[in-house]
Amino acid sequence: MSGENIFTGLTEEHGGDARWAFGTGFTEALAGVDTTLPEGVDGADLAAYCQMLGDDALIQSQRLIHWVTDAPELEEEVALANIALDLLGQARLLLARAGQADGTGRDEDAFAYRRPAAEFRNVCLTEIPRGDFARCVTTLLVLSTWRLALFTRLADSRDPVLAAIAAKGVNELAYHREYAVSWALRLGDGTPYSNERMREAVADVWPRTGELFATHPVEAALADRGAGVDPASVREEVRGVLDQVLTTATLPAPGDFPEAGVAGRDGRHTGELAPLLEELQRVAREHPEATW
Amino acid sequence: MPTTAQEAPPGADEALQAEFDARIADNQRIEPRDWMPEAYRRTLIRQVSQHAHSEIIGMQPEGDWIATAPSLRRKAILLAKVQDEAGHGLYLYAAAETLGVDRAELTERLIEGRQKYSSIFNYPSLNYADVGVIGWLVDGAAICNQVPLCRTSFGPYARAMVRICKEESFHQRQGYELLMRMMEGTGGQRAMVQDAVDRWWWPSLMMFGPPDADSPNTQQSMTWGIKIDTNDDLRQKFVDMTVPQAEKLGVTLPDPELAWNAERERYDFGEPDWNEFKQVISGSGPKNAERVARRRTAHEKGAWVREAATAYARKQQSAREAAA
């Protein structure tokens, strides 16, 4: 399968109107995509890995959604909605892939709506409460820089579905990072007050960054098979980008990422995840027999 | 070459007015640099900015459901739709700005309650079927109102409407598709759809404005080519278009007087509660205060961010000048 096949699956019924984000059409997420597992890759591992990356995107998207109708400018509402949509699209593909790889055939909604918090595999930074616009920018800066570094490598995955999802995601994430950088600079080097807000935001976000580079056994196994990326391998690159951005934004460099073990990847989350999921899953759980 | 206000010698207003009238009569577009009567400019600023405000406030009733949308596909559809509405607001504010008014000023007018927006958005959205019904009926009514405006006399407004109508049609189709799916689902889902239809039907009919007899500005606006059809004509068109869709969907429209009139070849229908309309328009609707307050809060909370952006731009500008 070539990487282009998934784009065919993503095109959907929009008369070629690429303006519409993935996922607004009326077809199944991975329809028509060859989903055969690559040789030597364990299906359960691949499914767990897809949930990790999918849950990161889903939870981050859910946090961003609340900026729509609440941002400092309309342009920011459009941009943040766009970023949330991109991440939601990535989550849908990854969760659909998880359901195929583990052989259960569960669809994206089974993962999103019918798992308790302890079964989510996202990193805890995605759960950080929304806070002010400086925290939004800082969280987005860190997560997009990290995910872009991962996806750039993942585009060469031996799993053709992951490779295609990553190849598409790289363009999206490059935009997300660019957007976050542009605001980090404005806020950091704007007014004394905005600089102070950014310092606080970096101080709030930084303690959660260590986990981004802690390797889960599933990540190690898939990296070993050429299907996944060991997050420890992107640590220096991410550090370099963030140092450069924060320094240019006249903010103090926060130093190295704290050392941390795996947490969210093993289902150990902050207390912030459960209320987030309660909201995400509420209507679906109220109508368990319904189709939407 | 169009004549501009700047070039006009004193006392030339009559000639300019005659040229303007001739262009309108000839169905030609008026562009921002063209001379236009002040009343035309004022009316357009009001119409276009109220339309922009409606898009922005209109993000709220549906936006409330993005976080709880019951499937990821529905979440993506709704998020994209609400994002489009923000985009529509932006095009329309840009169109208004070509008439010499500042967007920041228009935002102030909105959040201080000095300017109106479509009163439909002062009703609450109570269950997920509301998302579908807003798409089907509210966007449907908006399309009926807006398609003729693609031919409106002011160029920037007409061009904005072309793009907006295209997207609104897509939203309407998505709303209807959600309702179809829900009607094929559980009894509870069908009840949700009927409940939403019962609540949104009359407010949708009110979106076309008061009856022609009570719409004093209609005639002047039609002469100027910034209104193409009367309120009652558009309302009739909407009812005729919607009734067969309701039948196909399997819902009952809450109007006992609704019936096909074979002689007129149109549907007869009841009169909306115009007292309720006046109350909602004058600010006493169920959600008026909340909608405006939310916008005001977002704006005020974001002031330091906008100030930072301005300060940063100024610093960059100084740095460029110093380097030059």
Cβ separation B63–A68 shorter than 8 A: yes
**Mean pLDDT of chain A, nearest integer:** 90
H helix or E strand, kind and range, residue B266: strand B266-268
Cβ separation B177–A70 shorter than 8 A: no
* pLDDT tens digits for range A272-287: 999 999 999 999 999 9
CA–CA gap between residue A160 and residue A165 (Å, rounded):
9
Give the residue from chain A lying closest to B129, CA to CA. Answer: A292
**Residue A68: pLDDT over 90:** yes
B94 Cβ contact list (under 8 Å, min separation 6):
B103, B156, B160
- Which is nearest to B152 in space by CA: B40, B38, B228? B228
pLDDT band per the 50, 70, 90 thresholds, residue A4: very low
Average pLDDT score over residue span A55-81: 97
Contact (CB, 8 A) for A220 and A210 = no
Interface-testing mutation among B184, B305, B316, with chain A (most A C-beta atoms within 10 A): B305
Q: What is the pLDDT of residue A32?
A: 61
**Residue A25: pLDDT over 50:** no
Average pLDDT score over residue span B44-72: 96
The residues in B 16-55 lying below 8 A from A, measured between CB atoms, are none
Distance from CA of A225 to the nearest CA of B (A): 31
Residue count (chain B) = 324
CA–CA gap between residue B213 and residue B285 (Å, rounded):
24
- Across the interface, which of B72, B128, B181 has its CB nearest the CB of A291? B181
Stretch among A29-38, A122-131, A187-196, B21-30 having the lowest mean pLDDT: A29-38
Cβ separation B79–A77 shorter than 8 A: no
- Across the interface, which of B298, B307, B312 has its CB nearest the CB of A69? B298
Tokens of A258: 């704290």
DSSP 8-class letter at A156: T
* pLDDT tens digits for range A147-200: 999 999 999 999 999 999 999 999 999 999 999 999 999 999 999 999 999 999
Residue corresponding to tokens 């009703």: B123
The residues in B 249-288 lying below 8 A from A, measured between CB atoms, are none
CA–CA gap between residue A210 and residue A192 (Å, rounded):
29
Distance from CA of A185 to the nearest CA of B (A): 8
pTM of the entire predicted model:
0.92
Chain B residues with beta carbon closer than 8 angstroms to that of A59: none
Cβ separation A73–B77 shorter than 8 A: no
Average pLDDT score over residue span A203-231: 98
Tell me the β-bridge partners of B261. B266
pLDDT band per the 50, 70, 90 thresholds, residue B164: very high
Distance from CA of B289 to the nearest CA of A (A): 15
**Residue A267: pLDDT over 80:** yes
Q: What is the pLDDT of residue B10?
A: 61
* DSSP conformation letters of A47-102: HHHHHHHHHHHHHHHHHHHTTTTTSSSHHHHHHHHHHHHHHHHHHHHHHHHHHHHT
Distance from CA of A81 to the nearest CA of B (A): 6
Q: What is the pLDDT of residue A253?
A: 85
Output B6 or A256, whichever has higher pLDDT: A256
- Across the interface, which of B67, B90, B174 has its CB nearest the CB of A65? B67
Distance from CA of B45 to the nearest CA of A (A): 19
pLDDT band per the 50, 70, 90 thresholds, residue A23: very low
A133 Cβ contact list (under 8 Å, min separation 6):
A71, A72, A76, A183, A187, A197, B302, B305
* pLDDT tens digits for range A222-231: 999 999 999 9
Give the SS3 label for residue B267: strand
Contact (CB, 8 A) for A117 and A274 = yes
**Mean pLDDT of chain B, nearest integer:** 93
Q: What percent of chain B has pLDDT over 70?
A: 97
Tell me the β-bridge partners of A62. none
Q: What is the pLDDT of residue B216?
A: 80
Q: What is the pLDDT of residue B251?
A: 98
**Residue B194: pLDDT over 90:** yes
Amino acid identity at A26:
F
| Complete domains list, chain A, with CATH | 42-286 (1.20.1260.10)
CA–CA gap between residue B22 and residue B1 (Å, rounded):
14
Give the residue from chain B lying closest to A13, CA to CA. Answer: B170
Chain A residues with beta carbon closer than 8 angstroms to that of B295: 69
CA–CA gap between residue B47 and residue B154 (Å, rounded):
11
Q: What is the pLDDT of residue A29?
A: 52
CA–CA gap between residue B320 and residue B324 (Å, rounded):
6
Q: What percent of chain B has pLDDT over 90?
A: 83
Number of residue pairs across A and B with CB atoms under 8 Å?
161
Contact (CB, 8 A) for B16 and B3 = yes
The residues in B 117-146 lying below 8 A from A, measured between CB atoms, are 128
What ipTM did this prediction achieve? 0.92
* DSSP conformation letters of A169-214: HHHHHHHHHHHHHHHHHHHHTS-HHHHHHHHHHHHHHGGGSGGGGP
B251 Cβ contact list (under 8 Å, min separation 6):
B179, B183, B193, B194, B197
DSSP 8-class letter at B221: H
- Across the interface, which of B79, B185, B306 has its CB nearest the CB of A72? B306
**Residue A1: pLDDT over 80:** no
Query: B217 at the A interface (CB within 8 A)?
Result: no
Cβ separation A78–B87 shorter than 8 A: yes
CA–CA gap between residue A123 and residue A56 (Å, rounded):
6
Cβ separation A81–B68 shorter than 8 A: no
Q: What is the pLDDT of residue A35?
A: 77
Interface-testing mutation among B56, B75, B111, B287, with chain A (most A C-beta atoms within 10 A): B75
Query: B322 at the A interface (CB within 8 A)?
Result: no
pLDDT band per the 50, 70, 90 thresholds, residue A221: very high
Output A253 or A210, whichever has higher pLDDT: A210
Q: What is the pLDDT of residue B316?
A: 95
Q: To the nearest 5 percent, what fractions of chain B are helix, strand and coil?
A: 70, 0, 30
Cβ separation B177–A108 shorter than 8 A: no
Q: What is the pLDDT of residue A31?
A: 61
Q: What is the pLDDT of residue A22?
A: 38
**C-alpha A259, offset from chain centre:** 21
Chain A residues with beta carbon closer than 8 angstroms to that of B315: 189
Average pLDDT score over residue span A104-111: 96
Chain B residues with beta carbon closer than 8 angstroms to that of A91: 72
Distance from CA of A148 to the nearest CA of B (A): 22
CA–CA gap between residue A88 and residue B63 (Å, rounded):
16
Give the SS3 label for residue B261: strand
CA–CA gap between residue B304 and residue A115 (Å, rounded):
39
Average pLDDT score over residue span A132-143: 98
